[in-house]
Amino acid sequence: MDATGVAGLGRITPRRTRVGLIAGGLGAYWPQFPELLPQLQRSATVVAERLGALDCEVVDVGFVSDEREGAAAAERLRVADCDLIVGFLTTYLTASMLVPVAQRSGAPVLLINLQPTEAMDHATFDTGAWLAYCGACPLPEMANAFRRVGVEFRSVSGYLADERAWARIGRWVAAAGVRAALRHGRHGLLGHLYPGMVDVATDPTLVTAQFGGHVEVLEVDDVRVRVERVTGAEAAARVALAREVFTLDESVADDDLEWAARVSVGLDRLVEDFGLDSLAYYHRGLDGEVHERVGAGMILGCSLLTARGVPACGEYELRTSLAMLITDRLGAGGSFTELQALNFRDGVVEMGHDGPAHLAISSGKPLLRGLDVLHGKRGWGVSVEFDVAHGPVTLLGLGQQRDGTFTLVAAEGAVVGGPLLRIGNTTSRVDFGRDPAEWTDEWSATGVAHHWALGTGHRVAELEAVASLLGLELVVVR
């Protein structure tokens, strides 16, 4: 399932992943075997076309035949500011041709060894024909050289039409997109920490230090002022959109819906004005004053933003909004989630959250419910209620170690049907194929905070690639 949007909601288009491509072979072969180079160049064209089909911008610097051409290509790739460099080993080539690319580009490098077909025709092949299948030969050489110059090594081997190999390549490209989203991201942190939640407190400098990007510290007044400028026509249009996207429970009061619509329009302007890629917020407020009303009225707007590709969550949970950004960019959606209860009769863990949710992963049309009490928070208003689409899911949390280092924490399970609460929360029954108590203890022991992202599909293989490119540890609860 590719949970990247909701019908009727235009996706906020992120920066496209930029992939550099360099192909190469040993120039000494060309005068010896005249038909070899044209064949390898045709293979390089196929690779460029397949990469372009992965929804990325391909910067193709062509085919290199010696270390001087490799160094020139490395400079072009450095200037291009790529998110991933793909080096295509078409035949044997020396490590000196690609080491400058790895050292100078500033981007992770993926080496691919894709021979023309599944196997050689041994009875008819001469030396020139064999050399087109010789991309595996330099792979250990590259690995050794990369390690000795201090560059991380990763590779994919296969043949040109090998869909298993292309699935692995696709995971690396998707992981590069995640890395780019964090490296170029602007993350809103609005309001203040929910009092006492020391597990979710995050130093914004650590985000910039480990991921790149920028954390923009915002005030509730940044939303309030924009809400005050929303016109009646804009609010009415947003109410109409809400009625189209959601089923409205009879508990929804017209005044509360109209207020949530105004806050939603104001949030859209906040995101546009500050160029935000994610948002985490919380404001306590007091006695129904306007700031409390703004904080309580953000659920509709933040859910709509999340569905459009700008993940938003409550309780000032910056690390979870980043985890949601990762799952969203992997096409998994990713909704704000915590433990709710264990169901020992059915062998499932019930989890979800109040507040914003990723509408694209709902099992059906999401519900808006009116609440007089937002449990544990001040204020009142409309809240989102749904069950995540049934089938395979992945949990992703962003943990933090004592020294400040982030870790990725993941688990795969399946959302299954059954009875759910009807209290204006997202709630899903997740089956991990084991005793729910044992799973909960092991999950908690990882050091993950009490919030995380819940996304669709089994994504650990993709998250392994993400962790590699980010230089983070990935802890998986099996």
SS3 at position 283: coil
Residues 82 and 91: beta-carbon distance below 8 Å = no
* Cα–Cα distances in angstroms (integers) from residue 471 to residues 102, 407, 408, 465, in the given order: 16, 9, 10, 10
Residue 167 belongs to what H/E stretch? helix 163-183
* 369, part of any domain: yes
Query: What confidence score (pLDDT) does residue 14 get?
Result: 83
Together in a domain, 177 and 192? no
Query: What confidence score (pLDDT) does residue 2 get?
Result: 67
Together in a domain, 344 and 419? yes
* 5, part of any domain: no
The number of residues in the chain equals 478
Last residue of a domain, one of 182, 215, 242: 182
**Is the sign of the CA dihedral 99, 100, 101, 102 positive or negative?**
positive
* 393, part of any domain: yes
Together in a domain, 106 and 210? no
Give the separation between CA 330 and CA 335, rounded to whole angstroms: 13
Give the separation between CA 37 and CA 69, rounded to whole angstroms: 15
Closest residue by Cα to residue 303 from 248, 363, 368, 247:
368
Q: Cβ-count burial of 88 within 10 angstroms (0-12 exposed, 13-18 middle, 19+ buried)?
A: buried
Give the separation between CA 356 and CA 353, rounded to whole angstroms: 8
Together in a domain, 307 and 195? yes
Together in a domain, 87 and 220? no
The enclosing domain of 48 has a CATH number of 3.40.50.10940
Last residue of a domain, one of 182, 208, 225: 182
Query: What confidence score (pLDDT) does residue 13 get?
Result: 82
Give the separation between CA 432 and CA 442, rounded to whole angstroms: 12
Closest residue by Cα to residue 395 from 353, 337, 339, 453:
453
Query: What confidence score (pLDDT) does residue 7 get?
Result: 73
* Chain centroid offset of residue 338 CA: 19
Give the separation between CA 391 and CA 417, rounded to whole angstroms: 9
SS3 content of the chain, % helix, strand, coil (to 5): 40, 25, 35
Question: Residue 400: which domain range?
Answer: 185-477
pLDDT by 10s per residue, the chain, length 478: 567 678 778 898 888 999 999 999 999 999 999 999 999 999 999 999 999 999 899 999 999 999 999 999 999 999 999 999 999 999 999 999 999 999 998 899 999 999 999 999 999 999 999 999 999 999 999 999 999 999 999 999 999 999 999 999 999 999 999 999 999 999 999 999 999 999 999 999 999 999 999 999 999 999 999 999 999 999 999 999 999 999 999 999 999 999 999 999 999 999 999 999 999 999 999 999 999 999 999 999 999 999 999 999 999 999 999 999 999 999 999 999 999 999 999 999 999 999 999 999 999 999 999 999 988 899 999 999 999 999 999 999 999 999 999 999 999 999 999 999 999 999 999 999 999 999 999 999 999 999 999 999 999 999 999 999 999 999 999 9
* 3, part of any domain: no
H-helix segments, 54-161:
67-80, 99-104, 127-131, 139-148
Residues 370 and 249: beta-carbon distance below 8 Å = yes
Together in a domain, 327 and 402? yes
Together in a domain, 229 and 152? no
* 2, part of any domain: no
Query: What confidence score (pLDDT) does residue 123 get?
Result: 97
* 7, part of any domain: no
Q: DSSP character for 205?
A: H
